[in-house]
Amino acid sequence: MTTSSTSYRELTDDNGRVYRIGESPHDLMGRSRAWMVWLPWIAMIAVSVFEYGWGAVVGTLQTKNGWSLTEVFWLATVWAVFQAAVAFPAGRLRERNKFSARSAMLLGAVLSGVGYFTIAFSGSLGLAFLGYSVCGGVGAGLVYATCINMVGKWYPEKRGARTGFVNGGFAYGSVPFIYVFAAVLTPSDTTQILSLIGLYMLIVVAACGLLFRDPPKNWWPEHIDPKEWVRNTKANKSLAKNPPAVRQYSPREAIRTGMLPLMWLTLVIIGGVSLFGINFQVPFAKASDFGPFVAASAAGILSIVNGTGRALVGWASDFLGRRQTLTVVLLIAAVAQFGVLYAGNTHNIGLFMVFAFLVGFGSGAFYPLFAALVPDYFGENHNATNYGIVYSAKLVGGVGGGGLGAMVVDAWGYTGAYVLSGCIAVVAAGLTLFLHQPGRPKSKTAVSAAASNFGAPTTA
């Protein structure tokens, strides 16, 4: 819990939304709030190898331990379930001041290390599920959820670009490891390489987490008057498309609006498509006779574009609108599934790389958009819990993109699996058209609505 002896005042608008003004980041934590962008970004890079590096390591694990393709992808599936499932309870505990951001990060560091230590030193599938999938999933989930929520709390007035930047680290941070796995990882040196990766995650995440601090509830940057911010022409370019939440919604209230469940359902669908593309791009490249270097390069392109695309759409959504940008991203994800399938089946390496680029963009760029949409729609005070509920959709989508995806590939081949993936991505894009901000009339412009909300300030 963050405390400060510095005086502050609270400005309340006509909807009852409170803005706590007067405390600088230096007053609250002794440093610039930019630290709460860079530290989460570094921590996200450290744990990115879990999800985005898995497709490059599975072949070696199959050979070393005698595991089947379905078994190794069920490991990834269960990992995704626990990685997503921990976001809601952890967020709830943080908002009730039972669990600090620092504690969440330190626990995440230890459990993430345990995940890789387990598959480094044991060939037991049962232990792998317990250590890698359960412990590693919970650890990476704690790091992911804490980092994303931290950025939104410290940058309530311009969260899109910064949320996307931090979110991007979760993808492109894995690129060096993808090439290490493809180039030098063999059954004989698996223990040494994977244990070093576990140690790297533990140290980096713990070091970042020691400096994490949450701002007070309703905190607003002291140098920005919220009333002037609303009226400022330059700020309105973003505000017109992404007005602030009309009030602070509790999780129960957010669910009752219907928008939180709709976000959850949309993320279930597109989350499965995303994980399918991430998990099976390397195996499909190899099945298309492209060779290990092309397969690794395709995975590297996917991860780089996935990460940079998150930052790009976060910035773009500040001006184009979160919902509008989200719809476009999901349509690109759908097109990419069909494109990768066509390129692989026609053995066209150049085209395969082009669509690997689009798969990378479409399979990750929606995450920061959801992360920014939740506080845009429901406010910042309960963001850890509200976003935790939305992000928990990944635990359902992860089953489809991992273990069930492997079963579909076994039954229908890559052609059937990729066609199914593309079709359901189109459905997800269609669902986004029904998203709208709760409590704000659709016919009223965002700027005028926000500007008219302010009442008289109160002091505290």
pTM of the model as a whole: 0.73
Tell me, rounded to whole angstroms, the distance of Cα 17 from its chain centroid: 27
Q: All domains of the chain, ordered by start, with CATH?
A: 10-444 (1.20.1250.20)
- Length in residues, the chain: 460
Cβ atoms 159, 387 nearer than 8 A: no
Rounding to the nearest 10 degrees, give the CA dihedral for residues 154, 155, 160, 162. Answer: -70
Cβ atoms 29, 2 nearer than 8 A: yes
What is the pLDDT, as a whole number, of residue 70?
78
d(CA 29, CA 38): 15
Per-residue pLDDT of the chain (460 residues; tens, 9 = 90+): 445 556 888 888 766 678 888 889 999 999 999 999 999 999 999 998 887 777 778 778 888 898 887 788 788 888 988 988 898 888 888 888 888 999 999 999 999 999 999 999 988 999 999 999 999 999 999 999 899 889 888 988 777 778 888 988 887 888 888 778 877 888 888 899 999 999 999 999 999 999 999 898 889 888 887 777 666 645 556 666 788 788 889 999 999 999 999 999 999 999 888 888 777 777 787 777 776 666 667 666 766 777 777 778 877 888 888 999 999 999 999 999 999 899 888 888 888 888 877 877 877 788 889 988 998 999 888 888 898 899 888 878 777 766 777 788 888 888 998 999 999 999 999 999 999 999 877 654 444 444 445 544 333 4
| DSSP-assigned letters across all residues of 223-271 | TS-HHHHHH-HHHHHHHTTSPPPSS---HHHHHHTSHHHHHHHHHHHHH
Six-digit token string for 150: 């931290």
Q: Kindly report the number of other CB atoms within 10 A of residue 444's CB atom.
A: 12
d(CA 113, CA 101): 18
Cβ atoms 438, 249 nearer than 8 A: yes
Q: Any idea what DSSP says for residue 129?
A: I
Collapsed DSSP state (helix, strand, coil) of residue 24: coil
